[in-house]
Structure 1
Amino acid sequence: MSFQEIIGQETAKKVLQNGLRQQKISHAYLFHGPAGSGQLKMALHFAKALVCLEKGEDACGHCIECRKMEHGNHPDFLLVEPDGSSIKIDQIRELQRIFSYRSEAGNRKIYIIQDADKMTVQAANSLLKFLEEPPAPAVAMLLTDNVQSILPTIRSRTQPVLFTAVDPKQMIQLLADENYPLPLVRCAVHLVSDPEECRKLLAENWFAEIRNVVLQLGKESASRGSMSLITAQQKIFKGGLGDHVDQVFDLFHLWFKDLIYIQIGQNESIVFIDQLESLSKVAHTRSMQHWISCMALAAECKKMLRSNVNGQLCMEQFLIGVSG
């Protein structure tokens, strides 16, 4: 893979390739932007370009150093990921221990910290001095979708590299050309920000199932009856989809937005375009303000879910609120 095969992120690519071209590499980078925007893929490719024997603005993909990176066994590279829900101080200490030795080949050592915002306070403080004064030449890449949670002292010691959500239209065309089902693609590109993440989502059987459940619940909840509560109980919590309630709320957010698009005559923006007839029947049964409040309710219920509120309780409160 080359940088050009990474969809979007032109600003990030320009920053990194300029550094490679001019041989001006920062000791530490902070990749930040929305979840699923391809930060890890970019970081891995940048790491490969840094060790590449060609020393150009991209990895050659053929030299021994590139092949070691591709096979995941390069001795001068380390990926640090959360251990459970956080990155602990022992992980940072182990990183420091490994990187206290110089590379046998005289290369820079490279490490990536995935979900850097999940470092404990102790881990972050331990990383601080190491970031600026590693015992051996090193390049750090810290990846996060929540940059405000990174210590200001760490932010000040890193070069920021901004990532943005990839244009959904670009991803729809790309994935449609790969023969993924278009109705699923149109939803997936609004839930994740990177084509590779989309492919992973589209490969999951549960994704098509929860989309169908949302379609059914969306129609039932407009009838002001209690059927939607029964459907949710049977299809989600008894149907083995209870681990994906957050994605149900994400899809509902898109559903309500589509209802607003219909009310204002902006059909070209509709995500569930294959459901246009059903959406048209539901859209005018409530006011635009009601659909806006439903979007807010979906966001609030997702927030409750992240605070460990019972998923079934969140869903029941949500459906009752939607039905009015």
Structure 2
Amino acid sequence: MEFLNIAGHVSVIHHLQSAFQNNRIPSAYLFTGLEGIGKATLAKAFVQMLNCDTHNNCHQCDSCRMVERDGHPDFITIEPDGKFIKIKQIQTLIKQLALKPVYAKKRVVLLENVHQMNVESANCFLKILEEPPLDTLLILLTTDANLLLETIVSRVQKVQFAPLSEGHLLSILQQQYELKAEDLAFVMNYAHGRIRSDWIRKLSQLLNMRTQVREILGSLVTERMVDHVTLLEQWNKQDLGAYFLEFCTSWLRDWIWWLEEKPHRLINSDLLEDFATLPPKVTIEQLHWAFDLTIETELAIKAQAGKQLALEGLIIQIKQIFSGKIVV
């Protein structure tokens, strides 16, 4: 992919191109922004440009072809081994950096999800940042720079990636995927400025799940029985728990917008008939409280709370709110 023709992130592209043309590339960049926003794609295209024989992503020279095949000996990628980037991975990297580049003018190390370094690996990585090799560029990718050690952030040049515009999202999705109009609308509604390839891979599952989450929330008001415990167990086994929380927040938010007569803000705008049957006894205050509880549950799970119990507890609490047993 040609560096200058990547959709979106015009200011980032111009910044990096200017640094390259003026020979002002730092020893380390920190690319930060939403997951799926294109940080890795742009980083890879930048690597191609740096070492291309024509400096223009020609896709013909040996260097460009090796980068495209992920087979360039001087383009090193490190990603979490399980939950963390471990100290052994950083120690191996230090040994690699002690050697001269095999082929490239500029060796590049791409560290994905760098916020998943544990304390040991982060402290070890600091040694590289403190004495960076002259012939090496480090590119760190993260969704949240606040999760990194300040001593790391202070030694890199931060590059912020903004969410993609709706026009760029639509263009990328239409070019890369063959989606029916209704499926494209669903993916776009939940994109929030990023390309969510996982949603496209799991499209049929997630479309069905969205309806089931709506039924669960509706049953908490109408007393209609829905076996949410079995559904939650099934979703957790399939590693879909995070999607359940996202659908919960989207439906609760949409119900609030509907009651406030702001239908243009609905995420699930393709299912307007579901809002026409919204149980009348649910108040905006109750929905706000249920929404806040859902966000708190998501944070608790990220802090290693038991996922199944946390999700079951959330449903019980929302039911108590909707039934008036907990007064807002």
TM-score by length of 1: 0.88
The aligned runs of 1:99-248 (5 Å cut-off) are 99-105=97-103, 107-168=105-166, 170-172=168-170, 175=173, 178-189=177-188, 191-192=190-191, 197-204=195-202, 205-223=204-222, 225=223, 227-228=225-226, 230=227, 232-238=228-234, 243-248=239-244
Give the one of 254, 257, 267 matched to 2:253.
257
Asked if structure 1 preserves the Cα contact closer than 8 Å seen for 2:112 and 2:140, the reply is yes
Larger mean CA deviation between 243-252 and 303-312 belongs to: 303-312
SS of 1:214's equivalent in the other structure is helix
Q: 1:320 to 1:167 in 2, by over 3 A?
A: farther
Q: Distance in 2 between matches of 1:180 and 1:32?
A: 29
SS of 2:278's equivalent in the other structure is helix
Asked if structure 2 preserves the Cα contact closer than 8 Å seen for 1:101 and 1:135, the reply is no
Asked if structure 2 preserves the Cα contact closer than 8 Å seen for 1:186 and 1:271, the reply is no
C-alpha displacement at 1:183, in angstroms?
A: 4.8
Q: Distance in 2 between matches of 1:163 and 1:180?
A: 26
C-alpha displacement at 1:309, in angstroms?
A: 3.1
Specify the alignment match of 2:282 in structure 1.
286
Q: Deviations over 1:106-136 (max 9, x none)?
A: 6121101111111122222222232242345
Q: 1:159 to 1:207 in 2, by over 3 A?
A: same
Specify the alignment match of 1:267 in structure 2.
263
C-alpha displacement at 1:265, in angstroms?
A: 2.2
Q: 1:311 to 1:169 in 2, by over 3 A?
A: farther
Q: 1:124 to 1:274 in 2, by over 3 A?
A: same
C-alpha displacement at 1:293, in angstroms?
A: 1.4
Asked if structure 2 preserves the Cα contact closer than 8 Å seen for 1:210 and 1:241, the reply is no
Count how many residue pairs are aligned between Structure 1 and Structure 2: 318
Aligned: 1:311 with 2:310: no
Which amino acid letter does the alignment assign opposite residue 300 of structure 1?
Answer: E
Larger mean CA deviation between 261-270 and 157-166 belongs to: 261-270
Q: Distance in 2 between matches of 1:169 and 1:260?
A: 27
Specify the alignment match of 2:54 in structure 1.
54
SS of 2:277's equivalent in the other structure is helix
C-alpha displacement at 1:220, in angstroms?
A: 2.2
Q: 1:13 to 1:173 in 2, by over 3 A?
A: closer
Specify the alignment match of 1:19 in structure 2.
19
SS of 1:216's equivalent in the other structure is helix
Q: Percent identical across equivalent pairs?
A: 24
SS of 2:173's equivalent in the other structure is helix
Q: 1:253 to 1:184 in 2, by over 3 A?
A: farther
Specify the alignment match of 2:291 in structure 1.
295
Query: Any stretches of 5+ residues in structure 2 without a counterpart?
Result: 323-328
Q: Distance in 2 between matches of 1:167 and 1:259?
A: 25
Q: Distance in 2 between matches of 1:236 and 1:316?
A: 8
Aligned: 1:35 with 2:38: no
SS of 1:78's equivalent in the other structure is strand
Which amino acid letter does the alignment assign opposite residue 253 of structure 1?
Answer: T
SS of 2:71's equivalent in the other structure is coil
Specify the alignment match of 2:95 in structure 1.
97
SS of 2:31's equivalent in the other structure is strand
Specify the alignment match of 1:44 in structure 2.
44
Which amino acid letter does the alignment assign opposite residue 289 of structure 2?
Answer: S
Specify the alignment match of 2:326 in structure 1.
none
Q: Distance in 1 between matches of 2:8 and 2:30?
A: 18
Q: Distance in 2 between matches of 1:182 and 1:283?
A: 30
Q: 1:125 to 1:310 in 2, by over 3 A?
A: closer
Q: Distance in 1 between matches of 2:164 and 2:53?
A: 31
C-alpha displacement at 1:288, in angstroms?
A: 1.6
Query: Any stretches of 5+ residues in structure 1 without a counterpart?
Result: none
Asked if structure 1 preserves the Cα contact closer than 8 Å seen for 2:52 and 2:64, the reply is yes
SS of 1:227's equivalent in the other structure is coil
C-alpha displacement at 1:275, in angstroms?
A: 1.4
Q: Deviations over 1:259-284 (max 9, x none)?
A: 12212222222121221121132174
